[in-house]
Each structure stands twice: as structure tokens, then as C-alpha cells.
Amino acid sequence: MTPVPDVDSRWDGLIVGPSLATLDDTRGYGEVTDGAIAWKDGRLAWVGARVQLPGDEDSLADQVIEADGWITPGLVDCHTHLVFAGDRAREFEMRLEGASYEDIARSGGGILSSVRAVRAASEDDLLRESLPRARALVADGVSTLEIKSGYGLDLDNERKMLRVARRLGEVLGIEVRTTYLAAHALPPEFSGDAEAYIDAVVEWLPVLHGEGLVDAVDAFCEGIGFTPAQTRRVFEAARLLDLPVKLHADQLSDLGGAGLVAAFAGLSADHVEYSSAESVAAMAASGVVAVLLPGAFHVLRETKLPPLEAFRQQGVAMAVATDCNPGTAPLLSLRQAMQLACTHFRLTPEEALRGATVNAAHALGLHDRGVLRVGARADFALWDIRHPSELGYWLGGRLCRGVYAGGRFIG
């Protein structure tokens, strides 16, 4: 008989009964029926069949919970613009009346309307407005969250956004990864002088990084954003600080953005609807993750699909994220993004789940989560479902019973 662990080696918690989707393999859900999952000091200490537990359940852990349903890794939302003020519902109406994304942006709407709102808001105002959105994501299974700046577009307001992102993580008890996206749009005070603005973006970066506010660097490389040459300048500044890069790449046209990320061994290329075969090959060679953002695709009623089959054939990992933002993706559920990815992009439910867990974690440079494996961070979600495919099937509804981050119940 297996000896009963002493008090010091007892697990902090143990859940028994649910099936497990471990994703701890390259294919399949990694299903374990009538499973058990335990954690200690924020890490998974046991993952497997309940019948194989090394002793009496009550003697193994300080807290033992009997449950049913399914447990998956906690979801990772690897691309959001969640910190903002106000909304852009009127722009939604304008698009339905025939205005294009570019029309709205060039008329002073789009990103610049959010910039005006963010600049007018205090840090506490921004936190108060953003917290319900973050809570909605957590309630639907998210245990790790990426948040970008990019609606401040000056040093003080970019700092304000990044500080709010950090505070959200503290309030919710989750890890928030912050991304510096000052190269998002040209602010009015730099109108007509994008080069001077990029000078400022490069100048602010080491200041904010020195304050512990930046985990990665992003840019909007597009005809209505910044050129590849300007983006390269931002990436070179990031490289000097040993910061990883990612990119809003090839959303509206092919400027070679995904290939540019690959040239800098970046974490991810995001959107990628227009990415070329050459860029896909470069992503595959450099291990760049393709982050699919079906919420924006859906809201903008796009028709140009990302090169999904090329990603599959060349082994480019595909992540799925909400792109939560006030203009083109007012989406507050990563599970809904998974459903949209299945519907619009024809991902399988398994691909969508991997896209919102292990592949999304890798898109943030995180390799300690996204799977249920001994030693991984104890981030997991308990679902009221019969099979994991339901996570990519249901449109809306509340399926998540609870989320744990680092072994702590957070909602």
C-alpha cells in the first residue's frame, strides 16, 4: 500500500471525478475519464485517473473537491485591447450603413476616438471601466490575459494604460502580460509626421520598460498604420532591451508583416488574413505563432481567410484570441472566439481549444501553462459539458463552473 504523505508533502488541493482534457500530446484532447487533478504551491502535482491516486483521497490533500463535467487548461487570451474608455457603438452603425474601416479611421474615428476617451479618463476611471470586461473573460474560462496599450499615444497615457493592465491582474489574481503598442496610430499632435512619432515611440519604450510595465512590443503594420520600415525601427528598439515582439500583421493587405516578425524571431503574427506563402514559410522556420482573430473578421464582415491550410501543412501553430477592443471586436468571451474560429475559419474544436490554451500561451512566450501536466502552472477551468468539442459548439451561454489560476480559485 502506498504510504500516506506527511503533512508537509500534502497537496494544497485535489479535484476528483471530472474528465480531463490534458492536451498533453500533439494530437487529440488527451482525455482522461474519471480523472483527478491536484496542485501544490501553484503547480500541478498530479494529473491522471482517479483510480491511480497514490492513497486515500482525504489523506492526500488539504482540500478535496468532488465534481463532474470536464477540466481543461485555463484559457489564455493572447491578444486584447481591453483597457479603454467609452465605446464605439456609433461606428458599428456607420459600418452597417456602408462606411469602411478605413473611411472611419480617416474621418477621425476609429482608434483616434478611443485615444481621446482614454486621454480624458483618469487611471482609476480606466480601471473601473475595464474591470467588468476582464471579469467577463475570466468568468468564461480565462486564467491568463494579454493587454495592449495603444490608445494613449503619448508617454503619460501609454503609461496609464499599462499601469491599469497591471492593476487588473492584481485585482483579479491572474497573470496579465502587457504589450507596448504605441505604434498603433498617428496621434493628432504628430499629424503628417510619422517618422517623428516613431522617434518618440522608440524614446518612450526604455522608460516604460524600466518601470516594469512592458512584457512585449507590438505595432500596427498596415496602410492606415505604419510602414514595414517604421515597424522595423520599433522592433530594433525592442531588441536592444531584449524584449520580444509581435505584430498586427497583414490584416488588410500584404505588407510582409508576418515575415518581418519572423526576421526578428518574434512571438506571433496576429490577424494574418493576407500573409503570403513566403511569410508563412518564414513563420514556420522561426516558430512564430499565427494568432487568429475571428471576432474582428466577423464584425468587419471580412471575406479574405487567413492561409489556414498553409499554416497546417508547414506546422505553424495557430492561436485564437478575442482581440477585445471597442471598435472592431467588442468580444467578451474567448470561448465565443473559439466558436467563431470554428465557424468562419473551419478550425476543428480541438484546434480551437489548443489555440486558446497551449498555442496562445506560446504566443505570449509562456511555456508553463496551456496543458494539464505535472509541474505546469495550476491554471485550469471546470466546465459543465459532456465533451470538449462543446466549447467550440455552443453560441453563448454559461458553461464555466470555475477557474483556477496558480492553484487559487478566481471565479
Cell numbers of 151, please? 490608445
151 is in an annotated binding site: yes
Sign of the Cα pseudo-torsion (404, 399, 351, 68, in order) = positive
29 is in an annotated binding site: no
314 is in an annotated binding site: no
327 is in an annotated binding site: yes
323 is in an annotated binding site: yes
Q: In a 3-state reduction of DSSP, which class is residue 397?
A: coil
Distance CA 107, CA 109 (A): 6
Structural element, H or E, at residue 176: strand 175-183
328 is in an annotated binding site: yes
Sign of the Cα pseudo-torsion (301, 303, 306, 312, in order) = positive
Distance CA 272, CA 263 (A): 16
Secondary structure (DSSP) of 284-338: HHHT-EEEE-HHHHHHTT------HHHHHHHT--EEE----BTTTB----HHHHH
Amino acid identity of residue 118, one-letter, is V
271 is in an annotated binding site: no
Secondary structure (DSSP) of 67-117: --SEEEEPEEE-------SS--HHHHHHHHTT--HHHHHHTT-THHHHHHH
CB-CB contact of 337 with 331 (8 Å): yes
184 is in an annotated binding site: yes
User: 329: closest CA among 176, 45, 110, 107?
Assistant: 110
CB-CB contact of 224 with 102 (8 Å): yes
Angle CA(266)–CA(271)–CA(277) in degrees, nearest 5?
75
344 is in an annotated binding site: no
Distance CA 69, CA 89 (A): 37
Distance CA 334, CA 325 (A): 13
Annotated binding site for 4-imidazolone-5-propanoate: 88, 151, 184, 251, 328
Annotated binding site for Zn(2+): 79, 81, 248, 323
Annotated binding site for N-formimidoyl-L-glutamate: 151, 325, 327
Residue ranges for the known binding site for Fe(3+) are 79, 81, 248, 323
Question: Which residue ranges are tagged as binding site?
Answer: 79, 81, 88, 151, 184, 248, 251, 323, 325, 327-328
